[in-house]
Amino acid sequence: MSSVVGKMAGWSGQVSATFLFYLFLTALAARPKGPGHTHLNSIRIDGDISLGGLFPVHARGHEGKPCGEIKKEKGIHRLEAMLFALDRINNDHELLPNITLGARILDTCSRDTHALEQSLTFVQALIEKDGTDVKCQGGGSPIITKPERVVGVIGASSSSVSIMVANILRLFKSDLQGHTDEVQAAPLRALSNFMWSYPSAIGRAGGRETFHAKLELCVSDEDLVKDSLIPQVSYASTTSELSDNTRYDFFSRVVPPDTYQAQAMVDIVRAMRWNYVSTVASEGNYGESGVDAFIQKCREDGSVCISQSVKIPREPKVGEFDKIIQRLGENPNARVVIVFANEDDIRRLLQAAKNANQTGHFLWVGSDSWGSKISPVLHQEEMGEGAVTILPKRQSIRGFDRYFTSRTLENNRRNIWFAEFWENNFGCKLSRHALKKGSGIKKCTKEGLHPGRPSQGALVASLILSMQPAKHYSAYRSAAANRRDLSLTVLRWSPATSEFTKCHRMHSIKKHVGRPASPVPGASQWLFSPTMELGLFFPDQERIGKDSSYEQEGKVMFVIDAVYAMAHALHNMHKELCPGKVGLCSKMDPVDGALLLKYIRNVKIAGIAGNPVQFNENGDAPGRYDIYQYQMKNKTSDYKIIGHWTDQLYLNTKIMQWPGGEKHVPTSICSPACKPGWRKKIVKGISCCWHCERCDGYQYQADTYNCKMCRFDLRPNKNHTGCQPIPIVKLEWSSPWAVIPVLLAILGIIATLFVVVTFIRYNDTPIVKASGRELSYVLLTGIFLCYATTFLMISTPDVGICSLRRIFLGLGMSISYAALLTKTNRIYRIFEQGKMTISTPRFISPASQLAITFSLTSVQLLGVCIWFAVDPSQALVDYEDQRTVDPEMSRGVLKCDISDLSLICLLGYSMLLMVTCTVYAIKTRGVPETFNEAKPIGFTMYTTCIIWLAFIPIFFGTSQSTEKMYIQTTTLTISVSLSASVSLGMLYMPKVYVVLLHPEQNVTKRSTRSLKAVVTAATMSNKFNPKSSLRPNGEAKSELCESLETQGEKLYGY
C-alpha cells in the first residue's frame, strides 16, 4: 500500500508540474509576435542522429524585442565550434563509422523564456500527435511535418537558460509512461496538441497560411510519451544549482561548477590578503548562485567579509549601473569587487565606473563569464587594468582558427546567422539596394571570379596542390588521391580579350609536385565549380582575421569537448547495442535517452586540447582553472596567465601588476591590522571590521581578539605580546639605603666593644661598680644586638636570615629596655619604700635584678617561639610590594615573610618596655645625681621615644611608595641603631670619659654606708621637707640630702 501511495505522490508531483507548464504554454500561445521578431529560427543539418544545439547567437532584446544585436564571440564562435566538431566527427572513420551526426541549432537570444520557447522543438518528436483537433479552413487534411528527433542537446550557455531547458527536457519522465488516468493524460495531450499546432501545423486557405493553436483536453488510450528523456551537456553553464542530481539528473557539463570557481576566488582573495570585498551579480541563476557560493565559502573560511552585495536586474533601467558604482563606493575600504555577471553587464559596469572617475580604485575579480574576453574592456582598458579573472583551463584550438578564418559567405551558407555576423564584423551591408551617400556604411564585397592579370602560361597542377580547400576542391582532392593522371578544365588568360578561356590538357599530378610555380598575382584561392572548372578567387572580399580583429572565444574548446563527449557516448552505446552492425540498428532507433545518459556519465576521453573530459556522479567536470590578470604595458593591454587552481591555488605574484603599473598588492581591508600588543574589538555583525584596543597595564595579547593578565610573577614585554619574569630586587649592600645604616651600625658596634673593653679593664673601679656592673653588661649586650640587627636586615633573605631577624630584631631592644626598666624600677622602689618605712625593699640585689631582666626578656623570646610554631619563617618574593602602574617599573621584592602587623607585634613588646621605663624615669627624675644615673636614664628614654615617634609615620606612611622596601628597612635599622646609640652615649660614654681621661675622679670620696642608711636618709628627707614635691621640677633637695652626700657611697658601692 505504501508503495502505491509513493507512486501516486510521484505522479501527482509530475502532473502538477505539467499543469503549470501547460498554463505557461497557454500564455505563450496567446502572446502576439512583436514587430522585432524577425530573426531566423534554427540551423538544420541532416544526419542519421541529430543533436540539438543552444547558443546565445543574439543578445537579450530591449523594449519588448526578444533578441538584440548579434554576439560574435559567445554566439557565432561557439556555434561554429559545434559545426567544426560535427565536421571532424563525420570525417573520422573511427568514431561513429557509417553514422552521420546531424544538428538542430537554436538561438536562445540570451533569455531563458525565449530559449524555452525555442526548445519546444526538441521535444516535439517525443510526443505522438493526435491530429483530430487540427482542421484546415478548406476542410482538407492538415499538412503535418514531424520534426527530426534530437537525442541530446549541446548547451546552453547561460545557467538560467540551461535550468529552464533542463526542466523541459526531463519534464516527461518515464514514471508517467503506461498510466492513462485522465488527470495525468490531459495536460500531456494538451501539450501535444499545442506543440504540433504551434507553429508546425499549417493549413492553406485562399493562398494564405493560417496557424492553429487551439488547445483541447482529450485523453488517449495509448502512451503519449515514448523515450521522452533528452540528455543535455552544457559547455558554459556553471551554476552550482545544476549539480543537484535529484532535480537535474539528465544534465551534464564539461565545465566545472561554480562551487569550485567560488573556492578558487576565495583562495585568490586570501592570497592577496584581502578581507573586505563587495559582490556584483547579474540577476539569474548564474550570477546569483555564483555569488551565493562565494559568500558561503567566505563564511566557512571566516576570514573574508562582504561589504556590499549588489544585484544587476535583468532589465536594468537608465542610470542603474551608476547607482551600483555609487553603492560600491560607499565603503572605500572595500576596493575589491567580486563579479559574477554576464559579459554585457560587465562592460556597462566598467563604463559606469569610468563615468564616475573611479579609474584605478576598484580591483575587479571576475568569474569565467569575464575570463579573458576583450569585449568587456574594449575602449575602456584602463578601467579593467589589474582585474584578476578566472577561466576553466583551456587552450586555443588552432584547427578551429584555421577553420573559422576561412569562413566566407559562399562556403558557410549552412549558418543562417553568418551573413548578419559578416555585416557586424566588417561594418558593411549586404543589401542589394544602393546605400545612401554619406551614411558611412559601405557595401560588402562579394566573392567570385574576377578578371586580373596573372602570369603568362597555363596553370599547372602543382599550383592546384597548394590551393586552399573549398567545398568541391575537398571532394576532388579525396577522389584524386589514388589517381595518377587527371583531366582538368583550366581557365587561361587571354590578353586579347582580357577574359578567361578554357583549354583541356592532361597533367600528371605527381609529376608536378614540388615544382616551383608562381601563383597568380593577387589571387588568394582556387575554387572548383561543380563541373570541376577551375577559377581564380581574388581577395576583394573581406577576410576574417585580416580585415577584422579575431580572437578565439574562451569556451570554443568546451563546445567541441561537449560534442565529442556526446559522440563518444553514442559510439560506445552503438558498440554494445549494435555489435558488428553497420550504421544504426533497431536498438538505437530511437535512442533511449536514459541509457544514453549512462554512457555520457561514463565517458573518459582526451579533449580537443588534450585535457581530460569526464563527469562525476552529478554530471560535473573536475575543477581546473587558469588565473588571468588584465595588464597594461607601454599602452598595450592583454590578459596574462598568473597562476592556476586545481583544488589548490598557485599564484605567481612576481608577474602581477596593478593599476598604474604598481607591483605592490593594493589593500582591500575594512580595518588596518592592529599593532603588536593591540587586540581587535570586532564591530558588531562584521567580523572583518574592528577597532584596535591596546593591551594596557599588566595585560598581554593572548590572541587576535583577547588580552589577558600576566601571571602575578610576570609582566608584559615591551610590545605586550607576551609576558616575561618580573625582575627580583633586594636591598643591596652597595645601595645608599644600606650604606648609611651599615656605617652607623659599624660605628656603634665599635663604640660598644670599646665600652665593654673599658668596663672589663676597669671593672673594679668605683665608677664601674657604681654603674651596676651586672646590668651594665646586660645592657651593653642588648645595645650590641641592636647594632648587629642592621646586618641581618640588609643580608639576602633566606630561611636562616629570616629566622634570625625574627629572633634578634626585637631581642636586642627587649634586653636593653628590660635592663633599663629594672634599674629605674629599683630606684623608684627604694625611694618610694623610704617614704613609708626604713625597711629594705625586696629584689634590689644584683641577682634579683638579673632575674627580673631575664624574666622580662623571656617574654619576648616566648612570643617569638610561638610565632615560629604558628608561622614558620620563610623568604618570599613580594610582587605586590613594587607593582607599579607602569609594568616597566614593576619589581619583585625578595624579603622575609614578615608583615607590618607581625612587625608591630615583634617591636610592640620592646616599645612597651620602653614606655614603662620612660614612666619610671619620669617618676625618679628628682633623685639626686649621685643615685644610679636616674637622670641620664630619663634623658635616654625621652630621646628614644622621640626617635620612635618619628619612626612610626615614616615607616607606615611610605607603605604605598615604590621605594617602600628601602625606606622602611633603612628607617627601621637607623631607628634601632639610634636608640642603641642614645643609650650608649648617655649612659656609658660619660663614665668612659671619666675612667680614661679623669682617673682622679674615679675614687671613693667617703666611706661606704649601708643600704639601710640610704633608705633611712630618704625617709628622713621626706619628713624634714614635706613640701619638697611642690618645688619646681619636683626637685627634692633638702639639707639632709646634702649632708648625706657621700661621693663614694652609691647604692652599689658596698
d(CA 915, CA 1005): 36
For residue 461, the model assigns a pLDDT of: 39
User: Which residues face 709 on adjacent strands?
Assistant: 699
So where are the chain's domains? 2-70+98-236, 258-396+624-660, 401-435+445-537, 678-720, 736-756+777-980
Is the separation of the CB atoms in 83 and 132 below 8 Å? no
The angle that helices 593-601 and 556-577 make with each other, rounded to 10 degrees, is 120
Residue 498 predicted with pLDDT over 60? no
- The pLDDT score that the predictor gives to residue 1043 is 33
Mean pLDDT of 903-930: 81
Report pLDDT digits (tens) over 347-399.
999 999 999 999 989 999 999 889 888 889 999 999 999 999 998 888 899 99
Residue 889 confidence (pLDDT): 87
Over residues 45-90, the pLDDT tens digits come to 999 999 999 999 998 888 778 899 999 888 999 999 999 999 999 9
- Where does the pLDDT of residue 549 fall: very low under 50, low under 70, confident under 90, or very high at 90 and above? confident
**What average pLDDT score do residues 34-41 get?**
45
Residue 804 clears pLDDT 50, i.e. is over it: yes
Q: What is the mean pLDDT of residues 464-483?
A: 35
Q: What is the pLDDT of residue 5?
A: 39
**What does the buried/exposed string (b/e) look like for 227-237 if buried means 16 or more CB atoms within 10 Å of the residue's CB?**
bbbbbbbbbbb
pLDDT at 1042: 36
Q: Return the CATH number of 736-756+777-980, one of 1.20.1070, 3.40.50, 1.10.287, 3.30.310.
A: 1.20.1070
> What span, in angstroms and rounded, lies between the C-alpha atoms of 834 and 841?
9
Amino acid in the structure at residue 584: L
Q: Between 1053 and 654, where is the model more confident?
A: 654
Distance CA 389, CA 383 (A): 14
- Please state the φ and ψ torsions of residue 683, each to the nearest 5 degrees: -70, 135
* Distance set, CA 79 to CA 53, 559, 754, 854 (Å): 8, 8, 122, 121
- The SS3 assignment for 205 reads strand
The three cell numbers of residue 643 are: 597562476
Which whole number is the average pLDDT over 103-130?
Answer: 80
Instruction: Report which listed range, 415-419, 766-770, 963-967, is most confident.
Output: 415-419
| Beta strand ranges found along 862-954 (DSSP E) | 875-882, 891-896
Which residue do the cell numbers 610582587 mark? 879
Contact between 1005 and 1048 under an 8 Å Cβ cutoff? The reply is yes
How confident is the model at residue 649, as a pLDDT? 94
Three cell numbers written together for 741: 645604616
Contacts 24+ apart (CB under 8 A), 833-837: 833/1015, 834/1014, 834/1015, 834/1016, 834/1017, 834/1018, 834/1019, 834/1021, 834/1022, 835/1018, 835/1019, 835/1022, 836/1019, 837/1019
DSSP state of 707: E
**What is the structure's pLDDT at 820?**
87
pLDDT of residue 122: 81
pLDDT digits (tens, 9 = 90+) for 152-166: 999 899 888 999 898
Contact yes or no for 715/724 (Cβ under 8 A): yes
Residues whose CB falls within 8 Å of the CB of residue 26, separated by 6 or more in sequence, listed in order: 194, 215
Does 1033 have pLDDT greater than 60? no
pLDDT for 355 equals 93
Q: Which residue has the higher pLDDT, 1004 or 32?
A: 1004
Minimum mean pLDDT range among 166-175, 733-742, 915-924: 166-175
Mean pLDDT of the chain: 77
Residue 295 confidence (pLDDT): 93
Sequence letter at residue 810: G
What's the whole-number mean pLDDT along residues 637-663? Answer: 92
Distances (CA, A) of 558 to 82, 368, 553: 10, 13, 10
Comparing 810 with 499, the larger pLDDT belongs to 810
Torsion angle of C-alpha atoms 891, 894, 899, 900, degrees rounded to 10 = -60
Virtual torsion, Cα 121, 124, 129, 131, nearest 10 deg = -10
Of the chain, the percentage scoring pLDDT greater than 70 comes to 72
**Could you tell me the three cell numbers for 719?**
610590545
| Averaged pLDDT for residues 613-618 | 94
Task: Report the 10 Å Cβ neighbour count for 263.
Answer: 22
Q: CATH number of the domain at 258-396+624-660, please?
A: 3.40.50.2300
Q: How far is residue 673 from each of residues 334, 690, 696, 705, 921, measured CA to CA in Å?
A: 15, 9, 18, 12, 76
Which element (helix H / strand E) includes 970?
A: helix 964-987
Rounded Cα gap, residues 886 and 839, in angstroms: 72
Q: Phi-psi category of 104—alpha, beta or left, where left has phi over 0 and alpha has psi -120 to 50?
A: beta
Among 346, 85, 63, 385, smallest CA distance to 233 is for 85
pTM more than 0.75: no
Segments of 28-173 assigned E as strands: 42-45, 49-55, 58-60, 67-70, 101-107, 150-154
* Residues 1034-1048 as b or e (16 or more Cβ within 10 Å = b): eebebebbeebebee
Cell numbers at 932, concatenated: 644610679
Grid cell, residue 902, equals: 607581625
- Contact between residue 509 and residue 484 where contact means Cβ atoms under 8 Å apart: yes
What are the two backbone dihedrals, phi and then psi, of residue 1030, each rounded to the nearest 5 degrees?
-90, -5
Sheet holding 891-896, edge to edge: 728-729, 891-896, 875-882
